[in-house]
Amino acid sequence: MATNNYFGFTHGGTQYRNFCFSAAAAAATGAAYQAGQAGYAVAAPASAAAAATYGTQRPTGYETAYQAATTPATYAAVGTGTTPAYEYGYGRAAAATTGYDATKSYYQQAATGQSATGYTTAYDQAAAGAKQANYATQYTQRNPAQQQTQATVSAKPAQYSGTYQANATGYQASYAQPAAAQTTIAAQPTTQAKRYDAALYSAATMYVAQQSNQQKAGGWQGYKKGGGGPKNMRAKAPPKPQQLHYCEVCKISCAGPQTYREHLEGQKHKKREAATKMTASPAVTNQNRAGNSLRCQLCDVTCTGNDAYAAHIRGSKHSKVVMLHTKLGKPIPPQEPEVIGGPRKSVSATPKINFVQSGGLGVAPGNGEIKDEEIDDTPEPDIQPVGQDYIEEIKSEDGKVISFNCKLCECRFNDPNAKEMHMKGRRHRLQYKKKVNPDLVVDLKPSLRQRKMQEEKMRRAALREEYWQRRHMAAEDEEERMYWEERRRYEEDYMEWCRRGNMGPFPRGRPPFPGNAPPPFYQGPQITRRIESNDDRHVMSHHSDIYPKEEELQNIQRIVSHTERALKIVSDQMAETVKPKEEVVSPANSSPANTTVVVPAPQATATSLQEDKVDEPIEQKEDGRDNQLFSFQREDRDVNRTLKGVMRVGHLAKGLLLQGDTNVELVVLCSDKPTLTLLRKVVEMLPAALKQVTTEHIYNVTINAAEAGFTVTEEALTVLVQLTSPVMREQEAASGGLDRDVLARGKCLQALAALRHTKWFQARALGLHSCVVIIRILRDLCQRVPTWAPLSPWAMELLVEKVISSTPGGVQLSPGDALRRVMEAVAGGLLLPGGPGLGDPCEKDSPDAAAALTSQQREDLTCSAQYALRLIAYRQIYKVLGMDQLPIQQKVFRRDSRSARKRRRSGGEQPDSESDTGKMVKTEGDSAPAPEPVVPLK
């Protein structure tokens, strides 16, 4: 989820600041944003609608989607339905002009854009009361959170209350850890309001991601909304039969009431209904299916491939449903299949997003547009049918082909289509691979066990989430200590695991992150399983040498945590002095549990006026140790808080700290341009706050205006805290030497870039196999070898990520291979003058991140890498790593490899063959330490 949220992040605090929720203004603002920021087209009106409806505006931040809030929960009941069947093409132009009219209380598509015309919009329907009932049932069918949703019906039927639900399916599919959002839904009924916003935001971000993949005027598929009237979610019963007896669940019509009733009692219907109920969400089930599932949104049928989908579309069942829907005047979703991500959407293939610096919002038109070649919803590459020769045609007497016989698989079919499908099918391909051409690549199908593991993982994630949300304020230090210990143990176990010769999946999940977990380290389907090579051993051994000691980590963690907490205290104090009155917001507003607020409360309007896009976490974190933003905001939505939040950046947040690192960085986001006065004030107040946090440690606070911040030091450790604000990016700030009080713009921008880099890192590098290890190794190399010093850390991280992620076939490289590949890339002249350069995804127009290198430096780097590459090839990797050669573990190694071989042989296939991976995983899973259950700490 970090991926998409990241985008939102770039726009920082300015994002929602200007939304005034008088109806007209909302529309106007939305439109204004359109000009500059196509990506936000939907976010703007959507949140406008939300705010107007619920009274409190809750723009979601780049914090996570499932953070606690005590905002009105009731309306969410209506809003929680995921609508599997409905999608609305949403032209950009349409979005731009969409306004929310509070008085009329429904959503109007003011000027439908080119693509919106095809699909009648939900809002129109919602308003057209007659069809509301139908509509509502439709989108509730698949509601995952049904059990606990409150059956609250909005008092005013025409109100557009909470129906603006983004589809969680799409959301989940595009994220590495779909379970989290889903499970929160189940776990936290009270936070639904929040979730609503979150989903909304995520939909918006997703839209951003997708928008970039489509042509400008293209319809917008992934963004699904359940429009609809206020309708009890529980109301599962189909609509009263009108002239047609239409079953929403099965999407069929019945001739009369009698048959309709019979149908309802029939097994088929019951089964289907049960299935929809049981399924937590389509995403969860679909996750378990093999990679390229396509779903017909109209019929809610999932097909396993392009061919199956095409066959379905051609088929009579589909056309019947289309006819029926046309007849009923129901919207028909576009025919393009919804691609349901399997492995493709997992971490290894995080949707590619360019992290674009937004520039001045709404100032330069089009500057936020993302160029992105990768198309998210392209169909999977066509599988070529294989083994045509082995299909025998069986002819009747008159020479007509009546059936086919596949000699490889010993099966027969009568239909040429079936034959085609068979030849593309997995079973056939496996047979072909086995009997004819061992080089054929056959898709991996997750075994039953893997599927179960996946489910188990999600369940655990749910538990974990719930757990962390319940007990947030308790036992801070204890918790933190446990976390770090756990994390370290995890890393150690992983290394041990590697050392024992398993390069495959590490069975145990990462320790639970307190708060919102970034995507786990090693995830996704693991294909290769290799014996650990000599290079791997050296790399891992060196890695454990440079990895900081637990003690060091804890010390750094402590000083950072204390600084963060002290900063929060300072922020609170400053907020109190500035606006003591507005600080106190009536408790009724913070928890209006049962009021379905439909008219924007005046005070809410006021509060949302200067709202930062930053959202406060569900669980009040006590510091930012999850490496996400630690927001100072409180639920009462204090308005004029100057210090909005703090986030860890740099090596600390990326987990790249090495042994001996003593300098870490924090960035504090301010609501306005950070000034020297502000900085002085903070520096003045901080020591007292630090004392408040802890008395055991003495910290020195020193102002460092040149760096636009200050440092907190204790003994050898230094925390550099920089102040910045998204406002600094705006044009006026560029020209503004006017205000001499404002801190150096360059430094502030650097700090903002550091935030983006951290987000990028969490989204792209963390999940990539071997990537972080190699980045640490190269960091060490850059420190150790003068030749490598000119390569900036950011350029190096980009380089490593790009090189490793570009491995053909998405093969996961072992650490040794990954290091060699990086060296190959540099040796092959990637950095030489005339090379392509390293496009920086976190800046506008992707400038070269390594542009600062001189020709001579490039030459030297290449030269060094070339030598290093040959050293690695000739078994002298220890020279590259600057370590002693490890003794050759001949005996152990051979025994290991032999036993491994035996196991492999029993599979009867090559080590990396796809067919028996499931089996191997099984053995691995058995021998591996059992995943530790999440035990509540208290």
Partner 1 sequence: MVMARGGGMRGRGMGRGVGRGIYKPKIFLPRHPFDLTLAEAAFPRVKPTPDETVFTQALLKRNADLSPTPAEQTAILNLVTKIQTVLDNLVVAPGNFDACQLEEVRQVGSFKKGTMVTGHNVADIVVILKTLPTKEAVEALGNKVKEDLKNLMKSEVINKGESLNHTINERGIEIANSYATVRVMVTTVHHNIRKLDPEIHLDPMIMMSHLAAIRHSRWFEENAHHSSIKVLIRLLRDLRTRFDGFEPLTPWMLDLLAHFAIMNNPSRQALPINQAFRRVFQLLAAGLFLPGSAGITDPCEGGSIRIHTAMTLEQQDVCCLTAQTLLRVLSHGGYKHILGLEGNSSIAKEMSIWDGVVVSPLDKAYEKPPEKKEGEEVEDEDMEAEPDESMETAET
Binding stretches for partner 1 (CB under 8 A): 373, 530-531, 533-534, 802-803, 805-806, 808, 813, 817, 820-822, 824-825, 827-830, 832-840, 846-848, 851, 855-856, 859, 862-863, 866-867, 869-871, 873-876, 888, 890, 894, 897-898, 901, 904, 910-912
Instruction: Write down the number of H helices and E strands in the chain.
Output: 35, 18
Q: Which residue has the tokens 């573990």?
A: 889
**577-586: b or e for each residue (b if 16 or more CB lie within 10 Å)?**
eeeeebbebe
Give 603 or 846: the residue with its C-beta nearer to partner 1.
846
Angle at CA 782, nearest 5°, toward 486 and 528? 55
Nearest approach in angstroms of CB 825 to partner 1 is 4
Both tokens assigned to 349: 């293939």
Phi, psi of 464 (to 5 degrees): -60, -45
Judge whether 565 and 693 are in contact, CB under 8 Å. Answer: yes
Give 428 or 537: the residue with its C-beta nearer to partner 1.
537
Long-range contacts of 377-384 (CB under 8 A, 24+ apart): 377/210, 377/213, 377/221, 377/222, 377/336, 377/338, 377/339, 379/292, 379/294, 379/306, 379/337, 379/339, 380/291, 380/292, 380/305, 380/306, 380/339, 380/344, 382/306, 383/305, 383/424, 383/429, 384/424
Give 161 or 862: the residue with its C-beta nearer to partner 1.
862
Q: Which residue has the tokens 């708060």?
A: 515
Nearest approach in angstroms of CB 176 to partner 1 is 19
Nearest approach in angstroms of CB 705 to partner 1 is 34
Give 329 or 847: the residue with its C-beta nearer to partner 1.
847
Nearest approach in angstroms of CB 874 to partner 1 is 5
Give 836 or 933: the residue with its C-beta nearer to partner 1.
836
Give 554 or 897: the residue with its C-beta nearer to partner 1.
897
Give 274 or 851: the residue with its C-beta nearer to partner 1.
851
Nearest approach in angstroms of CB 851 to partner 1 is 8
Nearest approach in angstroms of CB 315 to partner 1 is 36
The count of other CB atoms within 10 Å of the CB of residue 808 is 5
Give 602 or 808: the residue with its C-beta nearer to partner 1.
808
Question: Which sign does the torsion angle of CA 56, 59, 62, 64 carry?
Answer: positive
Give 69 or 539: the residue with its C-beta nearer to partner 1.
539
Give 435 or 901: the residue with its C-beta nearer to partner 1.
901
Per DSSP, what are the bridge partners of residue 647?
667
Give 474 or 873: the residue with its C-beta nearer to partner 1.
873
Nearest approach in angstroms of CB 827 to partner 1 is 5
Bin 331: left if φ > 0, else alpha if -120 < ψ < 50, else beta. beta
Nearest approach in angstroms of CB 858 to partner 1 is 8
Nearest approach in angstroms of CB 867 to partner 1 is 6
Nearest approach in angstroms of CB 523 to partner 1 is 21
Judge whether 388 and 429 are in contact, CB under 8 Å. Answer: no
Both tokens assigned to 376: 């998210």
> Quick one: three-class SS letters along 310-348?
HHHHHCHHHHHHHHHHHHHCCCCCCCCCEEECCHHHCHH
* SS3 assignment, position 478: helix
Give 690 or 768: the residue with its C-beta nearer to partner 1.
768
* SS3 assignment, position 122: helix
Phi, psi of 403 (to 5 degrees): -155, 170
Nearest approach in angstroms of CB 468 to partner 1 is 36
Whole-angstrom distance, CA of residue 394 vs CA of residue 396? 7
Nearest approach in angstroms of CB 923 to partner 1 is 17
Nearest approach in angstroms of CB 821 to partner 1 is 5
Give 225 or 820: the residue with its C-beta nearer to partner 1.
820
Whole-angstrom distance, CA of residue 185 vs CA of residue 172? 12
Whole-angstrom distance, CA of residue 840 vs CA of residue 105? 44
Whole-angstrom distance, CA of residue 379 vs CA of residue 295? 12
Whole-angstrom distance, CA of residue 28 vs CA of residue 903? 67
Whole-angstrom distance, CA of residue 808 vs CA of residue 813? 11
